[in-house]
Chains A and B, each alone.
Chain A
């Protein structure tokens, strides 16, 4: 994909998001959990949605400028986005989310070596001495350091309690 195409696509996504922000997100997600009569009479400058509205206006304006600049641009660079690397990145992110989800169940010391092992392997290292070494040393060192140094307890597994 050409760089300027990417810029234009980003610009369009930003504009779509702005529309969503104005018509749905701000009206739905700027709410007050209290019935508070003093808020009804407050000046508009103090209202919670004053700054967000101002901000999104500026955002739309500068997005348009970016799009215009992109269409005029003569730079012919390409964005590096290969299918292979995108798949690898998605896998790493997915692993991280699963890791966070499993932390409270299995605990830091059990699940972290596995997480490290998968990541190191995914990034292409095949020397098992290194892989197992770092996967074990790193989490244990961290646990030791955090607890002994700072009395901070890293997530413990509910399963073992």
Chain B
């Protein structure tokens, strides 16, 4: 430890007072948190998950008393970031900011080194967006027309997804099962390109969220139709759009974004984090920013959050099992 001290002294001489000041905190005892909390975001820069995590981090430090530092660890559909979280200590100083895709879909179709349900404690859900199926308004008027046309021409209606066995693909697998139809699945790299292709008329339908690629604006000006919404209730943003359940497809998928901690993190520390996050969700600046981004907070924590993930995980497990896709 002496070596570190010497190095630190030199650092101070070099004028790195601020950075060193933050690090020197690490050794002091005191009320949690006594040093910055790191949040691993298992995606690349610029996506909605990254943006949401940075929005939270830019406000939560007021209530936490320590900065929250976003660390992007993308790659391999988020499995690298999740695994990296498992390699850290369960002391509450490292959290992971994931989505339903990371906990409930990816573990069914990818080799993973962790158990997404039992190795992580769901801490706090920040927001969620229902998944949608969209088409150009001159292509399909409603879900029934889509299904009817698919029954007339099996395997001819195309769907642009954000990737193989991703959110969008899982949705149409369920539609195929429940409505007894067959899509022509075209995987894209991300939701944006899929929606662009749909707008250009290259694919018939695409998946997405209200906030993705200007969908809500297009729906409002009438250039696209939202055919179905994967929520339990109709959404305030588009009250005319029926849910999938209303249309005979038992599929609910709200793409949520939230914090999780490694198994074994002390409950009192989790409580402190939850408390700070709850206050953040009521913060005026935060509410304004989240509203502007198009995805207002919808907080959930504790047992309810855990149950939601369990139900979601079970739903996707059942879909992949029925389709006949299993891990070797």
Contacts and interface: CB of A to CB of B under 8 A. Distances in A.
A33 B325 contact: no
B16 interface: yes
B324 interface: yes
Interface in B6-32: 7, 10-11, 14, 16, 18-19, 22
B324 A37 contact: yes
Contacts, number: 51
A34 B11 contact: no
B110 interface: yes
Contacts of B325: 34-36
Contact of A153 (B4, B38, B89, B111): B38
**Contact-residue bracket for chain A:** 20 to 34
A137 B110 CA distance: 44
A7 interface: no
Interface in A27-44: 32-37
Interface in A125-161: 136-137, 140-141, 143-144, 147-148, 151-153, 160-161
Contacts of B145: none
Nearest to A36: B325
Contacts of A37: 324
Contacts of B7: 109-110, 113
A111 to B, nearest CB: 11
Given A153-B69, A161-B89, A148 B19 contact: yes
A160 B111 CA distance: 32
Interface residues of B, number: 25
Nearest to B8: A109
A33 B109 CA distance: 8
A101 to B, nearest CB: 15
Given A34-B327, A35-B326, A110-B7, A140 B16 contact: yes
Nearest to B325: A36
Interface in A15-37: 32-37
Nearest to B38: A153
B19 A143 contact: yes
Nearest to B71: A153
B195 interface: no
- Which of A32, A33, A136, A144 has the most B CB atoms < 10 Å from its CB? A144
Nearest to B17: A144
A76 B158 CA distance: 60
Interface string B57-75: 0000000000101110000
A36 B324 contact: yes
Contact of B109 (A34, A151, A161): A34
Contacts of B236: none
B327 A136 contact: no
Contacts of B328: 32-35
Interface in A70-123: 109-110, 113
Interface in B313-328: 324-328
B3 interface: yes
11 contacts: A32-B328, A33-B110, A33-B111, A33-B327, A110-B4, A110-B7, A136-B14, A140-B16, A143-B16, A144-B16, A152-B71
7 A-B pairs closest in CB distance:
A144-B16, A35-B326, A36-B325, A151-B69, A147-B19, A37-B324, A144-B19
